[in-house]
Amino acid sequence: MENKKTIIVVGGGFAGLEFINQLKHAHQYKIILVDLNNYNFFPPLLYQVAAGFMEPSAISYPFRKILRKHDNVKFYMGELLKVVPEDNKIVLSNGELNYDILVMASGAETNFFGNKNIENYSLPMKTISDALALRNVIFTRLERATRIQDPERRKTLLSFVIAGAGPTGVELSGLFSEMRAHILKKDYPELNTEDLGNIYLIDGQDAVLAAMSKKTQGYTYENLKKYGVVIKLNTFVKDFKNDVVYLSDGTEINSRNLIWAAGISARTFEGFKAESFGRGKRLKTDAYNLVEGYKNIYAIGDTSLVFGDKNYPEGHPQLAQVAIQQAKRLGKNLKANTWKPFKYTDKGSMAIIGSNKAVTDGPEHKFFLKGFIAWCVWIFVHIMSLVNFRNRMRAFYDWMGYYINKDQSFRMIIRPKEKIKAESEK
C-alpha cells in the first residue's frame, strides 16, 4: 500500500507502547516511535532499583527488541525540541520528521514548584538515571558514615526526608525502614542503632495515599508508624539548603537527603499554542484525545487533559491505567476509523508498605484488601505489568529472594570515575 499515513508517537511509556500495540497490524499506517532513550522502563518499580532491591534490567527493555516483530513500526532515538504543526513536522535534537498524525505520549516530569534549591539539590524519582543516582547516593553516604566519628554528622548523612506521601513516598519509606532493620546490621557493623537517622515522610495533604480510601490511609499510616517512619502531614517542604530541610510548620531537619516525590507536571514543547495547555501543563483534548486547536495532533497519558468524560469533568488522574486505556481507545478508533469517546474505567489502586504488607482499593473504593493478601495481589499485578516474560521472571526471583532472606544483592555503587572522585572529596 503506497498511500500509508505516517503516525509519529512521541514517548514510549505506558501510553505510547499500548497505542503502538493496538496498531501493529494496521498496515494502512507507518508508525515511528520517537524517544529520548532506547528503552522502555516500568516507573512503579523505580524505587526498588533506587534502594538496591532490583537491577535496572529487571524493569527495562530495549525498544528495538520490543518492536522487532512490528513490521509497520520503526524506532527513532532523539529528543523532541519543537513541533511545527503548520508543516506537519517535528524538530528533534538530531533531525526532523514529517507526520500525517502526531500522537503526544511524552509523559510527565518532576515538578519542583519553582524552588531552585530543591530542584538543584534534591533527589527526584522519575527515570532510571534518577533511581541509579539515588542508589549511588544512599550507599556512598552509608560508606562515608562508617568513617565519621561525629554522631551528629552521621545522623545528617543517614537521615532521609521523603517529600510526597503518595505510593512512591510510602513505598520508599517502608523499604528504607526494612533496610535499616535487616540489612544495615549485617553489612555495616561500624554503625550503631543510635547512629542511624530518622526516615521522614512529608505531605501537604491530611493523609498518606490521599487518593485512596480512608481504610487504606489508616492502615498505611499505622504500619509506617510501627516501622519507625516519622510522618508529618498538612506540611510541605519550603526549602533545602546547607544540609537542612525547612518545613512549612517551622521544623528544620538536618539531612543531606531530600527525596522529591511530591509532584509532577507534563513536559512542554515549543510550537503548541499557549491556549492548548491546561492544568499541570497538560495538553487539553476533547473526548477523542484530539488536542484543542489541531486536526491531526492527539495527546494520551500523563501529557493529556481530556474533557468530555462526565465522571471526570476536571480531567483524569495521571495514572498508568488512564494512559493505557486512552491508548487503547485511540488506537482502536484510528484502526477502525469508527470513533468512540474515551471513558475511563477505574480498576482500583494499590501500594506496598513492606514485606507481607500492602493495601488495595477496588474500583471506586468498593472493597479494601490489606496485609498479606494485598501484598500477593500487588506482586502479581506488578509482575504481569512488566513488558515481557524475562522481566517478569527476574522481578519474581528478586522479590522471592528478598522475602526469604531479608536481603538483596544490588547494592553496588556504579558511577563515572570523576564523579566517584568528586563525591569522595566532599
Within a domain: 230: yes
Look at residue 418 and tell me if it is in a domain: yes
Mark whether 141 and 233 lie in a shared domain. Answer: yes
The least confident of 49-63, 140-154, 192-206, 410-424 is 410-424
- Average pLDDT along the chain: 90
Taking phi first (over 0 means left), then psi (-120 to 50 degrees means alpha), and beta for anything else, what does residue 242 get? left
The side-by-side arrangement of strands in the sheet containing 297-299 is: 73-77, 29-35, 5-10, 101-104, 297-299
The stretch 336-354 carries a mean pLDDT of 92
Cell of 219: 492502615
> How far apart are the C-alpha atoms of 301 and 225, rounded to whole Å?
34
Residue 154 Cα distances to 93, 130, 142, 197, angstroms: 44, 24, 9, 8
Is a pLDDT exceeding 60 seen at residue 426?
A: no
Give the number of other Cβ atoms within 10 Å of residue 270's Cβ: 10
The boundaries of the domain holding residue 416 are: 116-262+348-425
Residue 310 CA, distance from chain mean position: 27
Integer-rounded Cα radius of gyration of the chain: 22
Taking 90 as the threshold, does the pLDDT of residue 67 lie above it?
yes
Domain identity same for 311 and 375: no
**Chain-centre distance for alpha carbon 198:** 24
Q: CB-side exposure of 256: number of CA atoms within 13 Å?
A: 16
d(CA 104, CA 290): 10
Is residue 136 domain-shared with residue 97, that is, in the same domain? Answer: no
Last residue of a domain, one of 284, 311, 336: 336
Name the domain count of the chain: 2
pLDDT for 398: 76
Question: Do 371 and 326 belong together in one domain?
Answer: no
Q: Are residues 323 and 352 in the same domain?
A: no
Residue 112 pairs in a beta bridge with none
Residue 419 confidence (pLDDT) above 90: no
CATH number for the domain harbouring residue 104: 3.50.50.60
Considering 308, 336, 364, which residue would you say is the last residue of a domain?
336
For residues 327 and 192, membership in a common domain is answered with no
Whose cell is 481530556? That residue is 306
Question: What does the alpha-carbon distance between residue 44 and residue 46 come to, in Å, rounded to a whole number?
Answer: 6
SS3 content of the chain, % helix, strand, coil (to 5): 40, 25, 35
What is the mean predicted confidence (pLDDT) over 342-363? 92
The pair phi, psi for residue 327, each rounded to 5°, is -65, -40
Residue 245 scores a pLDDT above 90: yes
Is there a single domain that holds both residue 219 and residue 321? no
The lowest-confidence range among 2-6, 139-143, 306-310, 337-341 is: 2-6
State residue 385's pLDDT score: 85
CB atoms within 10 A of CB 384: 8
Specify the pLDDT at position 192: 80
pLDDT value at 238 more than 70: yes
Q: How many CB atoms lie within 10 A of CB 236?
A: 16
pLDDT in the model for residue 417: 60
Question: Do 237 and 377 fall into the same domain?
Answer: yes
Q: Are residues 233 and 158 in the same domain?
A: yes
Span 320-346, mean pLDDT?
95
| Nearest alpha carbon to residue 79 among 91, 87, 69 | 91
Distance between CA 182 and CA 408 in Å, rounded? 10
Could you tell me if residue 296 is inside a domain?
Answer: yes
Rounded to whole angstroms, the Cα distance separating 48 from 31 reads 33
Determine, yes or no, domain membership for 102. Answer: yes
| Inside any domain, residue 10 | yes
Residues in the chain: 426
Whether 58 is covered by a domain: the verdict is no
Domain final residue pick, 336, 358, 376: 336
Q: What is the pLDDT of residues 250-287, one digit of tens each?
A: 999 999 999 999 989 999 999 999 999 999 999 999 99
Residue 57 lies in a domain: no
pLDDT recorded at residue 424: 42
Tens digit of each residue's pLDDT (9 = 90 or more) over 359-416: 999 988 888 999 999 989 988 888 888 877 888 888 887 777 777 766 666 778 877 6
* Rounded Cα–Cα distance for residues 247 and 252 (Å): 6
The pTM assigned to this predicted structure is: 0.89
- The CATH number assigned to the domain holding 407 equals 3.50.50.100
In this model, does residue 420 exceed pLDDT 50? no
The model's pLDDT over 279-318, given as tens digits with 9 standing for 90+, comes to: 999 999 999 999 999 999 999 999 999 999 989 998 999 9
Cα angle 316, 319, 320; round to 5: 130
Query: Alpha-carbon distance 397 to 425, whole Å?
Result: 37
The pLDDT of residue 423: 46
pLDDT for residue 195 is more than 70 = yes
Distance CA 292, CA 108 (A): 19
φ/ψ (deg, to 5) at 390: -60, -45
Asked if 119 and 126 touch (Cβ cutoff 8 Å), the reply is no
Q: State whether 268 and 388 are in the same domain.
A: no
Q: SS3 of 420, please? A: helix
Question: Is 270 in the same domain as 258?
Answer: no
Whether pLDDT at 51 is above 70: yes
| Res. 422 pLDDT band, cuts 50 70 90 | very low
pLDDT of residue 2: 61
69-122 pLDDT, tens digit per residue, is 898 999 999 999 999 999 999 999 999 999 999 999 999 999 999 999 999 999
Per-residue model confidence as pLDDT tens digits over 14-38: 999 999 999 988 989 999 999 999 9
Residues 276 and 355 in one domain: no
Q: Is 97 inside any structural domain? A: yes
Backbone angles phi, psi at 110, to 5 degrees: -65, 135
Percent of the chain with pLDDT over 70: 95
